[in-house]
Structure 1
Amino acid sequence: MSVPGANLAAVTETSSHLNVTAGAYGAVADLYFDLARDDMDSLPLDRAMIGAFADLVRPAAGLTGDLGCGPGQMSAMLTGMGLDVLGVDLTPEMIDIARAHYPGPRFEVGSMDALDLADGALVGIVSWYSVIHALPTELPKYFAEFRRVLAADGHLLIAFFESEDGKVEPFDHKVTTAYRWPIDEIRDLAHEAGFTEVGRMLRAPGEEERKLRRGHLLLRAVSGQSGQTETR
Structure 2
Amino acid sequence: MTIYFAHRGSVTEAPENTLSSFQKALTHGAKFLELDVQLTKDNELIVCHDQRLDRVAKNKKGLIKDFTLAEIKEIDVGSSFSKEYEGEPLATLSEILDICPSEVFLNIEIKNIPIVYEGIEKRVLDCVGHHRTTDQFMVSSFDHLALKRVEVLDPSVKLGLLSMDRLIEPWHYAENCGLNIYSLHPRHVFVDKEYIRESHAAGYKVYPWTVDKFDELDRLLKLDVDGVITNNPEMFGSK
Greater per-residue helix proportion: 1
- The TM-score by the shorter chain falls in which range? 0.3 to 0.5
Comparing both chains, which one has the higher relative contact order based on Cα–Cα distances under 8 Å and sequence gaps of 6 or more? 2
Greater per-residue strand proportion: 1
Task: Give the TM-score normalised by the residue count of structure 1.
Answer: 0.33
